[in-house]
Each structure stands twice: as structure tokens, then as C-alpha cells.
Amino acid sequence: MYTLKGKVAIVTGGARDIGRQVSLKLAAAGAKVCVNYFENEEAGKETLAAIKAANGEAILVQGDVSKSADVKKIVEECTKAFGNTIHIVVNVAGGLFGRKPLADLDEEFWDRVIDVNLKSVYLTSRAVVPHMTEGGAIVNFSSQAARDGGGGGALAYATSKGGVLTMTRGLSKELGPKGIRVNCVSPGMINTTFHNTFTKQEIRTNVAAATPLRREGEAGEVGDLVLYLVSDAASFINGESVEINGGTYFS
């Protein structure tokens, strides 16, 4: 439906779950994709293989996007492979790491969550924007938690995702005059490893039952939304947070 032929994209956290679906869909639309992963090399290789099996172009780049040196390396490897212009950045990388109430929320844990969810978006955007031209698009990942405060023990996570939402709006104003659009998506309950790890099945069942569509979302559905937002079909959408939660929350 959308064409990204001739465009180069970086997807942070692009190896699995939502990141994998974003990587696959951008590549299927014709983009040359730099798939970033941090620890799960096996998942990264599986994503790369799936792209190539569908005749797509991609490279796999390891790096911790909460570290400026790693972000610099990711950008350098991408431009070395596909040229100096980067048209699309999708900041998927993030994590919860655990559920901790305020009384147990130590400084080290707080910093880790903020760094991987919020600082990473700042570092990646800062490094990539000099390589972007008019028509470029950045999509960040916020969360429904940014709107409703998140579930139990998710204070640091919800705060970091609220920061992503605000950064998106600020960047959209700063970069809009250069013809670069910045938006974010805010998923609700999506069937991913994230919820397999951190959300009890009982809670997932109850949330799905209370959702107007009576189910969880799928990673591919989020990928489809990202594909639309980076395409020319969304050329006048800027500074928006698009909720994708089946109707459980309205912004």
C-alpha cells in the first residue's frame, strides 16, 4: 500500500516483537533497514533472515542506544552500508525491567529505565538528524502508560514514556520547518514478550475483556501504523501521538 523505495531507515530495538514487525514492514515497502539490537543477537539474525528471504535489504547492527558512543557506531555503520542520507528513524528500543513501587525504586533502577526509554530517543535523534533531509520522518514509542500512569510498579516506565511524548512534540516544532516530521505511537496491551514477562495472565485477560474490541493488539498491527506514519501518506501529520489500544483509552 505504501512505498519506501530508495529510503534508508534505522529501527532501534528492531530485532523482536514490535521492532521486528516494524523492520519487516519497512523493508517490505522498499526501505533499506538498519536493524539495531542490544543483547539478543539470535533474534536479530532471525529478523535479518526474514527480511532477506522476502528480497528486502537490511543490515544488523549491535548497540546500546542509551550510550552515545554506541549510537554513533550504529549511524556510522548504517551510512557506510546505505549512503549518507537517513530518511527514517523508528525509536522502538525500551523496557520496563521490573515492577517497583516508590519505596523500592532505587536510583540505579530509575536511571536505567529513564536512559533506555527516554535518553535513547534523544541520543538517536541527535545523531541521525544531521543525516536527514526534507521529507524525513521520526517515529518514537511512547505508551498508554504515559497517559494513565501505567500499571502497578511502573512509575519509572510511565514517567519515561511521558517524556518521550513531550520530546516528540518539542522535536516536531523544531524539525518541522526543515521538512522533518516527528510523531509517536502509544501502544496499549499488545501481545509481546514485554507482557509475557511483566504482566500476569489474569491482568491481561481482564484488560482484554474490558477493551471494546475484546482482545489484545498484535505487534504487526503496530508495525502497520508505523509504516503509515513514515510514509508520504502521512505527510501532514506532525507532533502527534497515535493511540493504538483497541479503545481502552482516548487521548
Domain-located, residue 206:
no
- Render pLDDT for 139-177 as a digit per residue (tens, 0 to 9): 999 999 999 999 899 999 999 999 999 999 999 999 999
Mean pLDDT of the chain: 94
Q: Choose among 149, 130, 165, 180: nearest CA to 241.
A: 165
Domain-located, residue 144:
yes
The helix (H) or strand (E) run that includes residue 66 is none
What is the 3-class SS of 67-109, one letter each residue? CHHHHHHHHHHHHHHHCCCCCEEEECCCCCCCCCCHHHCCHHH
Query: What is the value of pTM for the model shown?
Result: 0.94
C-alpha cell at 63: 548497540
- Render pLDDT for 10-20 as a digit per residue (tens, 0 to 9): 999 999 999 99
Burial of residue 94, with CB atoms counted within 10 A of its CB: 0-12 exposed, 13-18 middle, 19 or more buried? buried
Residue whose entry in the numeric block shows the C-alpha cell 516508590 = 102
Domain-located, residue 86:
yes
Edge-to-edge strand ranges of the sheet holding 137-141: 57-62, 32-37, 8-12, 88-91, 137-141, 181-187, 241-244
Domain-located, residue 212:
no
Q: Choose among 153, 231, 148: nearest CA to 187.
A: 148
Domain-located, residue 198:
no
- Render pLDDT for 110-131 as a digit per residue (tens, 0 to 9): 999 999 999 999 999 999 999 9
CA neighbours closer than 13 Å in the CB half-sphere of residue 123: 22
Q: Choose among 115, 15, 19, 118: nearest CA to 67.
A: 115
Q: Are 222 and 244 in contact (CB under 8 A)?
A: yes
Confidence of residue 217 (pLDDT cuts 50, 70, 90): confident
Residue 157 among the catalytic residues: yes
Domain-located, residue 26:
yes
Catalytic-role residue among 2, 37, 157, 228: 157
- Residue partners of 189: CB distance under 8 A and separation at least 6: 144, 195, 199, 204, 207, 208, 211, 216, 217, 245, 246, 248
- Render pLDDT for 43-90 as a digit per residue (tens, 0 to 9): 999 999 999 999 999 999 999 999 999 999 999 999 999 999 999 999
Q: Which domain CATH number covers 75?
A: 3.40.50.720
Question: What is the extent of the structural domain holding 57?
Answer: 8-190+219-239
Domain-located, residue 201:
no
pLDDT at residue number 251: 62
Domain-located, residue 1:
no
- Cα(142)–Cα(162) distance, rounded to whole angstroms? 7
User: Structural domain tally of the chain?
Assistant: 1
